[in-house]
Structure 1
Amino acid sequence: MTNIILNRRKFLGTTAASAAALASPIYLRRAHAQGGEVNIWTYNNFVPDDFKDQFESETGIKVNVRLVDDQGKQFNLLAAEAPSPTVDIVTVAGHRFLQFIDSDLLAPMDTDRLNNWGNINPTFSEGDWATIRGEKWGAPILSGMEVLAYNTDLVSQEEANSWDVLFSEQYRQQTAYILQDMFSVLMLKMGYDGNMVAYMDDPERAAAIVAEVQQFLIDKKPLVRKYYDGGAEIQQMFVNQDIALGHAWNGPIAQLIKDGFPIEMTVPEEGSYGFVYTYNIAQNAPNVDNAYTFLNAILAKPEIGAAMTQASGFISTYKDASQHLTEIEKKSTSFTDEELSRLQFFRAEANEMKYQLVDPAVEAVKAA
């Protein structure tokens, strides 16, 4: 069985990391000489270079990757080519599915053609966001999430197990969060649906919930040091010790962990929200068979999921992928099964109503 060693530049230089390898799935050899091509639109580092080279070598299928950097741009590109796209596989975030589905730009995913579908952690593959109109629409590959990040020299792991610590007198003026995103988190903490799908037929109820969160944030406003917008801001606040803890997306915190800063992140007991990047088959894709061969191959082994995490910085959706990461990589890009069980995922069905309510509420909190 052919092995290829992952590019050492993708690792932190440790012996454990450089020992990782992508083993060649046997079924790829049977697919050799299938030939042709598969065209993929995806983000930088979502297709590991070593996997791509091995896949091309063993299947004879040429992989053509076009990099994208924005969901809206990708939608516009695909819509412009419809109904005869040049692309086979696109990369859509789960909470953007409806936009693509309603425009007839994606084909339902035939999971029966993916022998390796079971290698995906069901937290990601079987969530309520993943099935729309009775169909699966994408293969989950990588994820990001909102976390509670805390300086381990100042805050204990036990304290960080609840979002309550973010609003405690003990850490007055030592906290920061993204104000708009905090609305969804607090709805969940208060026992509501932060996606607001449950209230689509009851706008008065939705308005009352947003008003409740708004008042809570106004009441707690003296405790927060800063409402921030970008990842670099919270990184700098942690480094300067302006804050002891904060709400953040996992990516900026992962970088601080890799840099050796005394910081950890968790999904608190009340839960949080995340999003999932998926690989999707374009409607009327010109190379459907090759697309499914590619998807089955990239889902084949946890080592591949680990390689995608190492290259992209996002969290792998693959079972056991963390076993192929170094300790520092595990700390920065993986969560326990218990933490993942607390995670919910963004959905888009109620977004118009939700943000018509949340956007003015955010401004009201800022002005209070």
Structure 2
Amino acid sequence: MTKLIIDRRRFIGTAAATAGALASPAYIGRARAQGGEVNVWTYADFVPESFKEQFEADTGIKVNIRLVDDQGKQFNLLAAEQPNPTADIVTVAGHRFLQFIDSELLAPLDTGRLSNWGTINPVYSESDWSTINGNKWGAPILSGMEVLAYNSEMVPDEDTRSWEPFFSDKYAKQTAYVIQDMLSIVMLMQGNDGNMVEYMGDPDRAAEVVAQARDFLIEKKPLVRKYYDGGAEVQQMFVNQDITMACAWNGPIAALMADGFPVSMTIPKEGSYGFVYTYNVANNAPNADNAYTFLDAILASPEIGAAMTSASGFISTFKGAEQHLTEAEKAATSFTDEELAGMRFFRAEANDLKYSLVDPAVEAIKAA
């Protein structure tokens, strides 16, 4: 098949235009003008540009966005700035809460200051992972999962029902993944607990499980085309047809699907892991009042949630957001009951144990 000749800038522009069309002044309403600034550390496309512009116009608060691309890096940056961080709002995945909370990097969230808290689907806002030590610590905004992404014109459906074809000679040098993400999935494939909660009282078994997954990925290393770092990179590899399959977060893949690229995604029968992104107020935030004004505004309506989904490809946590998506966007953010049955949420209880073993395993795989 001939390579697709597609202008990446055209894709980005289309996505941005869609988000802009969804966000209108009516969504924010009459916010109290107060001035100053708010510093937000977040991922690309998590703050719709049209929302940012309207928020600044309505409130006089300047929104300074610092892009992050990794939970570990964000943790290290925030920890290095204590006790006087520059961040007011950070973006933490629910399964990383404990690490940030134990290090006193987050302030408990005062939901009483958020008149629009009810916009969030209680499946996310009231779930067991969202309350720790009796407090809420973040406003759930987007959910995602690790998926098997594939070029729908080059990979038959029967090769996407399991993770096994992904590691076969048939797709040698046509695959890509983030090693840390794939380690958790390989543990699942091998019948083990990728969250490692099951092994909290048995560190020897935990080490054995990680070593087994590590050795599998070292054995399969000759088959992978690239270990990539971010969503934009895996998107570009699909656009260039450098790869036909990838383990990826659903957001970047959904964005490609919504723009008409011949890619699709699924959760194979062995399962996968999901998570929820949250907006959090940093401990000792320099502009805490403005942070709450920002949070309440972004929670103001399902249209804003839809704009966030349109731009990022991740699934909105806002009630009714799907009603404001195009049919293509709905298709790109939907999974069957059978697929969802195999999804597990990342959990935080065993993170210290998990990452003490997984991080060295990642380095061993790279060095092999």
The interval holding the TM-score normalised by the smaller chain is: 0.7 to 0.9
SS at match of 1:183: helix
**Structure 1 CA distance, aligned partners of 2:81 and 2:16?**
43
Aligned residues: CA RMSD? 4.0
- What residue is the counterpart of 1:22 in the other structure? 24
Contact 1:225 1:243 in 2 (8 A): no
SS at match of 1:335: coil
Q: CA deviation at 1:38?
A: 5.1
Count of residues in Structure 1 that have an aligned counterpart in Structure 2:
351
Contact 1:123 1:340 in 2 (8 A): no
Report matched runs for 1:1-368 at 5 Å: 11=14, 20-22=22-24, 24=26, 28-29=29-30, 32-33=32-33, 35-37=34-36, 39-43=38-42, 44-58=44-58, 60=59, 62-69=61-68, 71=71, 74-75=74-75, 78-79=78-79, 82-83=82-83, 85=85, 87-122=87-122, 124-126=124-126, 129-157=129-157, 159-167=159-167, 171=170, 173=172, 176-178=175-177, 179-214=179-214, 217=217, 221=220, 225-226=223-224, 228-230=226-228, 238=238, 244-254=244-254, 256-257=256-257, 260-285=260-285, 287-332=287-332, 334-336=333-335, 338=337, 339=339, 342-358=342-358, 361=361
TM-score by length of 2: 0.75
Q: CA deviation at 1:243?
A: 5.2
Change (3 A) 1:181 1:45: closer
Change (3 A) 1:19 1:138: closer
Structure 2: unaligned runs, 5 residues or longer: 1-11
Change (3 A) 1:41 1:206: same
Structure 1: unaligned runs, 5 residues or longer: 1-8
User: What is the percentage of aligned positions where both structures have the same residue?
Assistant: 61
Q: CA deviation at 1:346?
A: 3.6
Q: CA deviation at 1:139?
A: 0.9
Q: Which residue identity does 1:24 align to in structure 2?
A: A
**Structure 2 CA distance, aligned partners of 1:340 and 1:114?**
31
Q: CA deviation at 1:80?
A: 5.6
**Structure 1 CA distance, aligned partners of 2:289 and 2:175?**
48
**Structure 2 CA distance, aligned partners of 1:289 and 1:241?**
47
**Structure 1 CA distance, aligned partners of 2:203 and 2:150?**
36
- Higher Cα Rg, which structure: 1
Contact 2:176 2:247 in 1 (8 A): yes
